[in-house]
Amino acid sequence: MPGFPITRLRRARMRGFSRRMLTEHRLTPSDFIWPLFVTEGDGDPEPIDGMAGVYRLRLTHLKAAVKAAEKEGIPTLAVFPCLDDKVKNDDGTNALKADNLICRAIKTIKDINADIGVMVDIALDTFTSHGHDGVIRGGQVDNDATLEILSAQSLNYAEAGADIVAPSDMMDGRIKTIRASLDENGYSDLMIMAYAAKYASTLYAPFREAARSNPLSGGLGDKASYQMNPANSDEALREIALDIQEGADFVMVKPGMPYLDIMRRAYEAFNMPIFGYQVSGEYQMIQALMATLPETQRHALIMEMLLAFKRAGCAGILSYFAYDVAYQLNRNQ
């Protein structure tokens, strides 16, 4: 390519039509998975501290959420439970009950629209009294004992009608165990999205408040013994490769924006759809900045943050902004 002054890259940026014509990455409503929090009882949706615009929904509110997603072209909902402490215990056994909150939420959504995708989290943190993703034995999370429970949890959600199970626990061997159980029980078409590179991040704090996940206890102060070290990137590629080998249909990197380099490396290394999760702490930070901006700049800020996922190679994005962005995209075309 010849240099300046023959080559002037600004030429293509000076007019709106040429900027649109040469746009490399675009967001569409179908790029999104919309995370929803569900809780028991009646009454109004419950606002969540620190996550403006995000609510704990009763099952009766799911109809409006499903219809909104359907109207705006959001293909998939991810459903997370907000449980009362009285149904939690050390082994998270409520996760295996056929009538638990998530099973009823899946059935409610499918009764409204059987074609919308329902993704459910596979982990025990929202079900355990200690807040960890697996069962604790001898002062540590017992990997192999947890696998059996996660497999049963996946089968429970499959029977309720889930479309995608998303193991977020970071136990070794969970994808192989879950895939085998699903296949043996007639659910070979059910998809697995593996939280393949899930880092031990402080950015999950607002989620734990939103989901009423109990403060970590049980002798373990954090999740560093099973979630990934934020300093490591080569290890993430090994985790992703193992999950693909064990039968994952898609893989996810979590959190999102601080780990765009991991998404890009995964995109370049594997012929596999990569998803990114713009987590609750990222949402909170963006909301804080939005509060300082003129209203005319707020949507541009959100779009800039989300486009970074597409540049990194993501096939899709989990974001609490999913509905708002899809709504704006559909009206600004």
In the structure encoding, which two tokens stand for residue 302, read together? 């959100």
Spell out the domain ranges in the chain.
Answer: 26-331
Provide mean pLDDT across the span 140-152: 97
213, 219, 221, 223: CA torsion to nearest 10: -70
Higher pLDDT among residues 104 and 212, named by residue: 104
| Alpha-carbon gap, residue 191 to 196, rounded angstroms | 14
The CB density around residue 207, as the number of other CB atoms within 10 Å, is 25
| Alpha-carbon gap, residue 134 to 142, rounded angstroms | 7
**Helix residue ranges, H only, the chain:** 16-21, 62-72, 101-112, 143-160, 174-184, 205-210, 234-246, 260-269, 280-290, 295-312, 322-331
In the structure encoding, which two tokens stand for residue 5, read together? 């002054």
Asked if the model's pLDDT at residue 217 lies above 80, the reply is no
Note the pLDDT of residue 72. 98
Mean pLDDT of the chain: 96
Q: Is 168 helix (H, G, I), strand (E, B) or coil?
A: coil
Note the pLDDT of residue 16. 94
Which one from 88, 97, 223, 254 is the annotated catalytic residue? 254
Is residue 198 part of the annotated active site? The answer reads: yes
156-209 pLDDT, tens digit each: 999 999 999 999 999 999 999 999 999 999 999 999 999 999 999 999 999 999
Asked if the model's pLDDT at residue 137 lies above 80, the reply is yes
In the structure encoding, which two tokens stand for residue 229, read together? 């070290």
Which one from 88, 198, 223, 310 is the annotated catalytic residue? 198
Q: Write the single-letter amino acid at 93.
A: T
290-303 pLDDT, tens digit each: 999 999 999 999 99
Note the pLDDT of residue 333. 62
| Alpha-carbon gap, residue 268 to 13, rounded angstroms | 28
Rounded to whole angstroms, the maximal C-alpha distance in the chain is 72
What is the secondary structure of 32-95 as a DSSP string?
EEEEEEEESSSSSPEE-TT-TT-EEEEGGGHHHHHHHHHHHT--EEEEEEE--GGG-BTT-GGG
Tell me which of 2.130.10.10, 3.20.20.70, 1.10.10.10, 2.40.50.140 is the CATH number of domain 26-331.
3.20.20.70
What percent of the chain shows pLDDT beyond 90?
96
Note the pLDDT of residue 50. 87
259-271 pLDDT, tens digit each: 999 999 999 999 9
Provide mean pLDDT across the span 100-120: 97
- Residue 255: which residues within 8 A CB-CB, separation 6 or more? 199, 201, 203, 204, 277, 278, 279, 281, 282
Note the pLDDT of residue 214. 74
| Alpha-carbon gap, residue 132 to 149, rounded angstroms | 13
| Alpha-carbon gap, residue 255 to 309, rounded angstroms | 11
How does strand 76-82 pair with strand 136-137?
A: unpaired
| Alpha-carbon gap, residue 268 to 301, rounded angstroms | 27
Asked if the model's pLDDT at residue 145 lies above 90, the reply is yes
| Alpha-carbon gap, residue 69 to 109, rounded angstroms | 11
Taking alpha carbons only, the member of 84, 19, 35, 37 closest to residue 276 is 35
Which residues is 98 bridged to in the sheet? Answer: none
In the structure encoding, which two tokens stand for residue 45, read together? 């949706």
